[in-house]
Structure 1
Amino acid sequence: MNSYKLSFLYIFIFLSFLVACDNQSRQLTEAQKNELILAIDTFNTAFADGKLSVLESMITDNYKHTNGTSKVIGKKQWLNYLKKRNQEIETGILTINSYDMDQLNIEFHNAAAIVTARVAAAATKNGEHSESEYRVTNIWVYEEEAWKRAGFHDGKIQ
């Protein structure tokens, strides 16, 4: 075998090894998959309790948030919304009576997951009680050894 063919063979084997290692590194362990359920629960509790620092640490830098009543907003805009909401919680204007997620379905795609569910929420704002149900879709990614929410969309259930 001449040196050209041998060099090509070595390069091919090396590149194949790199691709195999890269694909393998994107596959999640069962423990990492199970961590997502805990992360979702932690996120939902922090949202209900108005724990901004927890929420901020659990979303990606390029986070996108949208729902049926507004256009897409990014991380900064969503955190600003949460700050206003937290002020309402702290002053007693807003009380979150319940925030429950069920019908959870998770579809993993390498180091990402599409999570769909139903959210039932009850709140009291300025003395008026309201209850709502939403269908939600969340995009979660596994980065920096933790699950982070990268995207959100909801639609109100009639």
Structure 2
Amino acid sequence: MKIHQSIPFLIIICLLGCEPKSSVDRDALLTSIETFNTAFSEGDLAVLDSMTTSNYLHTNSSSPVIGKTDWFGYLEKRNKRLESGEIEVLDYALDETKIEYHENSAIVTGKVTVVTKDSLGTKQNQYRITNLWVYENGTWKRAGFHDGKIK
């Protein structure tokens, strides 16, 4: 039996072109983080809701671990302060970002600098953060958060 000369060539091309691709869009994570941080800074609860997992956990140095419902309770109170002008976010920046990918999840670390203005004046605070992001249904969602204030 003779094999047509082009068949092995076509098989090789198909195998090279059909190599498995990662189902996780790693490049989209940085964009998702930027979108999330902007939504937090501006108090956009709809975007934050769409970008957090249903079993989201939030931890910081000043309160016990809370779930998504309690975190959104805090965000609603914060939004009232933002909308009334009682507090204004002048700057919210994430620097020193490092990402470690683990299949369909990623650990993101960095330093957040927040500048706010209220009736007492302008304040700047910095925090070291660790976030857990997961890739669900073609999108990145934040599943966990922890921060510690830098003194």
Q: Does residue 1:157 correspond to 2:150, yes or no? A: yes
3-state secondary structure, aligned to 1:42: helix
CA distance in 1: counterparts of 2:31 and 2:140, whole angstroms: 10
Q: How many residues align?
A: 132
Give 1:133's aligned residue: 126
Unaligned runs of 5+ in 2: 1-19
Cα distance in 2 for partners of 1:46, 1:127 equals 25
Q: Which runs of 5+ in 1 are unaligned?
A: 1-23
| Aligned: 1:58 with 2:51 | yes
Letter in 1 for 2:148: G
Amino-acid identity (%) = 47
Q: Show the counterpart of 1:85.
A: 78
Please give the alpha-carbon distance, in whole angstroms, between the structure 2 residues aligned to 1:89 and 1:128.
15
Moved over 3 A (4+): none
Query: CA RMSD of the aligned region, Å?
Result: 1.3
For 1:44, which of 37, 43, 47 is the aligned residue? Answer: 37
Residue among 77, 93, 96 paired with 1:100 = 93
Is 2:15 aligned against 1:34?
no
Q: Provide TM-score, normalisation by structure 2.
A: 0.84
What is the one-letter code of the residue matched to 1:37?
L
Distance in 2 (CA, whole Å) between partners of 1:113 and 1:28 is 14
Residue 118 in 1 paired to residue 126 in 2?
A: no
Call closer, same or farther: CA 1:28–1:59 in 2, change over 3 Å.
Answer: same
